[in-house]
Amino acid sequence: MFRRAPLLMTVLLFGYAFLYGPILSLMVYSFNESRLVTVWGGFSTKWYSELLHNEQILGAAWLSIKIAAINASASVVLGTLAAVALVRYRRFRGRTSLEIMVTAPMVLPDVIIGLSLLLLFVSMQTLIGWPAGRGQTTITLAHITFSMAYVTVVVRSRLAHMDRSLEEAALDLGARPLKVFFAITLPIIAPALVAGWLLAFTLSMDDLVIASFVSGPGATTLPMVVYSSVRLGVSPQINALATLIVVIVAIAVAIAGVLLYRQEKGSNSRKE
């Protein structure tokens, strides 16, 4: 390989080093004995056990997982509804605005989404008294707002590729529209729903900017804790935590990838 294209292989190596080097060093230093992040003091798992006794970080992790799970589930429901509306109903009032609203969160900077949602929540509280204060609820709502957009895109492409006559055949065989949706449409687009759920979960776990805007006292998500503790001075506990997160996210992404791949393969074999 090296002999055939030395330049290409060098570029490839540098590319990998660039992408994975930082992550790898972070993981390696999570097993560092020394308190100083930059000095290697021998192998140890003590930071992991210290992490397990750190109430603040564990609390934040739990909160993040809760928010991510609720967010993912709600996004899948709303995103699927939006996708069905956009794919199955060609013409309706407000179609264009729905399309724009659904894609907007993907292109808008997080700072702007965060700020605008904060302003919305504040004025809502003044006007109708809900949501009372900012915390878990507002973070979840904010996350749903942008996660839903991604779910819509994933589900929409699956729906668009689905053979319309499958639904027509079910109608023809006497199933009412709602029955058709649950018995035929949902099972067929299920891989996209799972992939969308995982995507939404990961997006929520990742988010720092928007959560910082819309959270209040008492609701500190994991990325917020990590970010603030890094500013005070890096503890190898953060490395341990980051390693765990990387592993969890990698597994989730791998599952989503496999599902999407299978879905692709399935629809290809059906076209034959």
- Interface positions with other proteins (CB under 8 A): 163, 165-166, 168-176, 179, 183-184, 187-188, 266, 269-270
Minimum CB separation of residue 161 from other proteins in Å reads 12
Q: Which is nearer to other proteins, 170 or 256 (CB)?
A: 170
To 10 degrees, the CA torsion angle through 204, 145, 71, 107?
A: -30
Minimum CB separation of residue 167 from other proteins in Å reads 9
Minimum CB separation of residue 139 from other proteins in Å reads 36
Paired strand residues for 75: none
CA distance 221 to 188: 35
Determine the distance from the C-alpha atom of residue 40 to the mean position of all C-alpha atoms in its chain, rounded to a whole number: 34
Cα angle, residue 58 at apex, residues 56 and 59 outer, rounded to 5°: 65
Question: Which of 55, 241, 58, 207 is closest to 139 using CA atoms?
Answer: 207
Q: Which is nearer to other proteins, 35 or 262 (CB)?
A: 262
CA distance 267 to 206: 31
Q: Which is nearer to other proteins, 81 or 183 (CB)?
A: 183
CA distance 125 to 123: 5
Minimum CB separation of residue 183 from other proteins in Å reads 8
**What is the per-residue DSSP string for 94-117?**
THHHHHHHHHHHHHS-HHHHHHHH
3-state DSSP assignment of residue 162: coil
Q: Which is nearer to other proteins, 80 or 202 (CB)?
A: 80
Q: Which is nearer to other proteins, 38 or 165 (CB)?
A: 165
Minimum CB separation of residue 89 from other proteins in Å reads 15
Q: Which is nearer to other proteins, 25 or 163 (CB)?
A: 163
Paired strand residues for 43: 32
Tokens read off for 187: 């099972």
Residue listed under structure tokens 């639904």? 167
Minimum CB separation of residue 80 from other proteins in Å reads 17
